[in-house]
């Protein structure tokens, strides 16, 4: 399996107070004509399928919309703060300090294929580490959103540098990695344990391979040679 097509379920419910969701979905379709959209569910969820780069652009489009709404709320909050400062000067001074601190906070976002993210964590952990920033990942099915946060001006430059490094590594890993899904013959605990023991025994022979166990199968992620060699060993 090559990383060419991704299916993800997106939730647009957070936009309900600001947009008519049906109109937002139409805007999404115009923004990403290469993607296939399922029906909009009553809870605000919608299934989207297509190439990973196209889906990543759609997620970034929605994140920008969410950020703009957040900034509007922040501006409204700042206007209320100015009013309170006129009424209570000592409280206003405290709120001003907090507001200045908030302006230094920077957040960069990268959307990754979940298997790519796990492989990066396992074999390229330094890509997800940087001085003066905090990097975390939130997984939603096939997609993992990586947030890179900083609390200082110096950290903001580091956050942008870390984002570019993660993006560059992701592109390279997408180019070289393959995935093989190995299903259990039967969904029993004994069968899962048997596969686990086999994988533990074979793993040292394939050091560049990532094994991801699930309830019904195991995903083997690595280069073509590594995946092929492991699956052949497993068959034997």
What pLDDT was estimated at residue 211? 92
Task: Please say if the pLDDT value at position 87 is more than 50.
Answer: no
pLDDT number for residue 14: 78
Say how many CA atoms lie within 13 Å of 127 toward its Cβ. Answer: 23
What is the percentage of the chain residues whose pLDDT exceeds 70?
80
Confidence of residue 98 (pLDDT cuts 50, 70, 90): very low
Higher pLDDT, 116 or 73: 116
pLDDT of residue 118: 93
Per-residue CA distances from 59 to 11, 66, 80, 110, 114 (Å): 11, 10, 32, 9, 14
CB 63 within 8 A of CB 109: yes
Domain 107-176: give its CATH code.
Answer: 3.30.1370
Output the pLDDT for position 195: 87
Residue 204 DSSP one-character state: G
87 or 183, higher pLDDT: 183
Above 90 in pLDDT, residue 124? yes
Stronger pLDDT, 120 or 185, i.e. the higher one: 120
Q: What is the mean pLDDT of the chain?
A: 79
**2: CB partners within 8 A, 6+ apart:** 178, 179
Residue 217 has pLDDT above 70, yes or no: yes
Mean pLDDT over residues 218-227, rounded? 90
CA dist list (Å): 9 to 20, 44, 63, 143? 19, 10, 15, 9
Q: Is 86 exposed, middle or buried (0-12, 13-18, 19+ CB in 10 A)?
A: exposed
CB crowding 181-215: b at 16 or more within 10 Å, else e:
ebebeeeeeeebeebeeebeebeeebeebbbbeee
Q: Are 8 and 142 in contact (CB under 8 A)?
A: yes
The answer to whether 234 touches 226, Cβ cutoff 8 Å, is: no
Q: Is the pLDDT assigned to residue 186 strictly greater than 90?
A: no
The answer to which of 42-46, 150-154, 185-189 has the lowest mean pLDDT is 150-154
At residue 108 the predicted structure's pLDDT band, cuts being 50, 70 and 90, is confident
Distance (Å, whole) CA 21 – CA 9: 15
pTM given for the model: 0.59
Residue 92: per-residue pLDDT: 44
E strands of the chain, at which residues? 6-11, 36-37, 45-50, 106-113, 134-140, 143-150, 177-183, 210-213, 217-223
Contacts of 31 (CB under 8 A, 6+ apart): 57, 58, 61
- The CA distance from 119 to 127, in Å, is 11
- Return the higher-pLDDT residue of 194 and 73: 194
């Amino acid at each position: 399996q090559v990383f060419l097509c991704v299916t993800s379920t997106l939730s647009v419910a957070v936009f309900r107070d600001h947009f008519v969701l049906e109109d937002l979905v139409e805007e999404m379709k115009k923004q990403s004509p290469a993607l296939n959209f399922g029906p909009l569910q009553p809870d605000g969820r919608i299934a989207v399928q297509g190439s990973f780069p196209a889906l990543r652009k759609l997620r970034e489009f929605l994140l920008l919309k969410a950020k703009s709404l957040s900034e509007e709320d922040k501006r409204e909050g700042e206007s209320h703060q100015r009013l309170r400062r006129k009424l209570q000067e000592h409280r206003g001074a405290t709120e001003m300090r907090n507001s200045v601190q908030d302006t230094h906070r920077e957040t960069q976002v990268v959307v990754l294929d979940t298997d790519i993210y796990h492989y990066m964590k396992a074999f390229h952990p330094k890509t997800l580490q940087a001085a003066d920033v905090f990097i975390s990942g939130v997984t939603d099915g096939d997609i993992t959103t990586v947030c890179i946060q900083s609390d200082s001006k110096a950290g903001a430059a580091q956050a942008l540098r870390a984002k570019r490094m993660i993006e560059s590594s992701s592109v390279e890993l997408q180019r070289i990695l393959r995935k093989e899904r190995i299903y259990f013959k039967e969904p029993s605990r004994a069968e899962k344990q048997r596969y686990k023991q086999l994988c533990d025994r074979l793993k040292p022979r394939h050091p560049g391979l990532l094994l991801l166990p699930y309830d019904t199968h195991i995903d083997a992620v690595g280069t073509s040679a590594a995946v092929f060699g492991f699956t052949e060993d497993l068959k034997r």
